[in-house]
Amino acid sequence: MKELRLMKGNEAIAEAAIRCGADAYFGYPITPQSEVMEYLMAERPEQRTGMVVLQAESEVASINMIYGAAGCGKKAMTSSSSPGISLMQEGLSYIAGAELPCLVVNVVRGGPGLGTIQPSQADYFQATKGGGHGDYHLIVLAPASVQEMCDFVKDGFDLAFQYRNPVMILTDGAIGQMMEKVELFEQIPRSETQPEWACVGKPATRGRSIITSLELDPNRQEQFNLKLQKKYREIEAKEVRYEKIQCDDAEYLFVAYGTSSRICQKSVQLAREKGIKVGLFRPISLYPFPYEAIESLSKQVKGILSVEMSAGQMIEDIRLAVHDRIKVQHYGRFGGMMPVPSEILQQLETQIIGG
């Protein structure tokens, strides 16, 4: 039977964590995502499923607790917001380097620095291009609704374990804080077993399980990097996700993810009321980025407006996809400000149609 609830995005993340059979959550409070740990603590997941929830002394500690639990083959996750995610970059690099599965939620706020607690999309570069040191990628999913906040927790863990790679849900303060109807999936039991690579204590019957990202021999470290790159190519080939809204007859295109894509849906409606054929392309996986789908749309439309709550970050990937075939411009509000549908349409008219 369907279980429907009205929930905040942050609460949906937390409820989904318990329901997908997560083993552990380690986190540190930061606005605008503190409801995740508050909800978990109030729910007593140690009684519901045996899931561990611990408030760490810092984001540096919480991501390293994730490393330890993930190294044991357990489903471990954390959530934070921009300044806290910056503190986690060291740990994320080690997790990527040790090929550990985990889920990290970034409820983005405006920066740089302490910035603002209002929503933003200015962590796109950090999330999709690596973030920490070394050649690595997180798999990045961008929900645009509270429903997707819930669903992507489960999908994120599945991807993390399938590829032994950290997964990030890149969302923002608007989706984290807003309330919507959510259809919750049924409780999935926590796994009784761990993957064969997990660090669980060495029985006499097998060799040691060592979780490390260290390889002093540069030849072997290069080989390891090539193995990682091969994995990333596989992820790029198989895990691209996107949504096309009214793109079939579109002459112009908005490209936007997350909260911006929600606002752009209204802009599409306003444009079509004026007789302008506009579609919306919503990348769902930001890494891997849907280059091919955008390239193929660039043969159909006359111009693209990239709409982001940043000074223009995803636009670089769109331009890579489009190969200068058509005009691609950016419109964004940032530092915690959000655009309204009419100003986005106006920007399309001035920058793309009239430009």
Partner 1 sequence: MEENITLEDIIRPENLVFQKTKLFTEKPLSYCPGCGHGVIHRLVLEVLEEMGISEQTIGVAPVGCSVLAYEFMDIDMQQAAHGRAPAVATGIKRVFPEKFVFTYQGDGDLAAIGTAETIHACNRGENITIIFVNNGIYGMTGGQMAPTTLPGMRASTCPYGRDVKSMGHPLKITELIAQLPGTSFVTRQAVHTPGNVRKAKKAILKAFQNQKEKKGLSFVEVVSNCNSGWKVSPVQANKWMVENMFPFYPLGDIKDV
Binding partner 1 (rule: CB under 8 A), the pick from 68, 312, 335, 341 is 68
Is residue 37 near partner 1 by the rule CB under 8 A? no
| Rounded distance between C-alpha atoms, residue 14 and residue 21, angstroms | 11
Stretch that binds partner 1, among 62-70, 156-164, 267-275, 337-345 (CB under 8 A): 62-70
Q: Considering the complex, what minimum distance in angstroms separates the CB of residue 26 from partner 1? A: 7
Q: In the 8-state DSSP scheme, what is residue 284? A: S
| Rounded distance between C-alpha atoms, residue 39 and residue 57, angstroms | 19
By beta-carbon proximity to partner 1, the closer residue of 89 and 265 is 89
The helix (run of H) or strand (run of E) holding residue 16 is: helix 9-19
Query: How many CA atoms lie less than 13 Å away from 245 in the CB half-sphere?
Result: 19
Which of 94, 99, 78 lies closest to 133 in space, CA to CA? 94
| Rounded distance between C-alpha atoms, residue 17 and residue 14, angstroms | 5
Q: Any idea what the Cα angle at residue 111 is, between residues 157 and 107, rounded to 5°? A: 25
Is residue 199 near partner 1 by the rule CB under 8 A? yes
By beta-carbon proximity to partner 1, the closer residue of 78 and 259 is 78
Residue 222, judged by CB atoms within 10 A of its CB (0-12, 13-18, 19+), counts as: exposed
Q: Considering the complex, what minimum distance in angstroms separates the CB of residue 49 from partner 1? A: 13
DSSP per residue, 177-190:
H-EEEEEEPPPPPP
By beta-carbon proximity to partner 1, the closer residue of 98 and 188 is 98
Q: Considering the complex, what minimum distance in angstroms separates the CB of residue 75 from partner 1? A: 9
* 3-class state of residue 214 by DSSP: coil
By beta-carbon proximity to partner 1, the closer residue of 89 and 269 is 89
Given a contact cutoff of 8 angstroms between Cβ atoms, the answer to whether 162 and 103 are in contact is no
Binding partner 1 (rule: CB under 8 A), the pick from 14, 17, 30, 61 is 61
Binding pattern to partner 1, positions 95-124, x when CB under 8 A?
A: ---x--------------------------
Q: Considering the complex, what minimum distance in angstroms separates the CB of residue 200 from partner 1? A: 6
Side chain identity at residue 306, one-letter code: S
Binding partner 1 (rule: CB under 8 A), the pick from 13, 70, 139, 268 is 70
Given a contact cutoff of 8 angstroms between Cβ atoms, the answer to whether 107 and 95 are in contact is no
Binding pattern to partner 1, positions 214-233, x when CB under 8 A?
A: x-------------------
Q: Considering the complex, what minimum distance in angstroms separates the CB of residue 22 from partner 1? A: 11
Report the DSSP beta bridge partners of residue 79. Answer: 105
Q: Considering the complex, what minimum distance in angstroms separates the CB of residue 100 from partner 1? A: 10
- Six-digit token string for 268: 């599409």
Is residue 212 near partner 1 by the rule CB under 8 A? yes
Is residue 66 near partner 1 by the rule CB under 8 A? yes
Q: Considering the complex, what minimum distance in angstroms separates the CB of residue 236 from partner 1? A: 28
Binding partner 1 (rule: CB under 8 A), the pick from 9, 32, 71, 156 is 71
- Six-digit token string for 150: 């819930």
Is residue 208 near partner 1 by the rule CB under 8 A? yes
Is residue 58 near partner 1 by the rule CB under 8 A? yes
β-sheet with 327-332: strand ranges across: 242-245, 278-283, 252-255, 303-308, 327-332
Binding pattern to partner 1, positions 6-25, x when CB under 8 A?
A: -----------------xx-
Span 287-346, contacts to partner 1 by CB under 8 A = none
Burial of 121-143, coded b for 16+ CB within 10 Å and e otherwise, reads bbbbebbbebbbeeebbbbbbbb
> What is the biggest distance separating any 2 CA atoms in the chain, rounded to whole angstroms?
73
Is residue 91 near partner 1 by the rule CB under 8 A? yes
By beta-carbon proximity to partner 1, the closer residue of 66 and 170 is 66
Which of 286, 310, 7, 291 lies closest to 156 in space, CA to CA? 286
Binding partner 1 (rule: CB under 8 A), the pick from 1, 2, 47, 57 is 57
Please report, as ranges, the residues that interact with partner 1 according to CB under 8 A. 23-24, 26, 52, 54, 56-58, 60-62, 64-72, 74, 76, 90-91, 94, 98, 199-204, 208-214
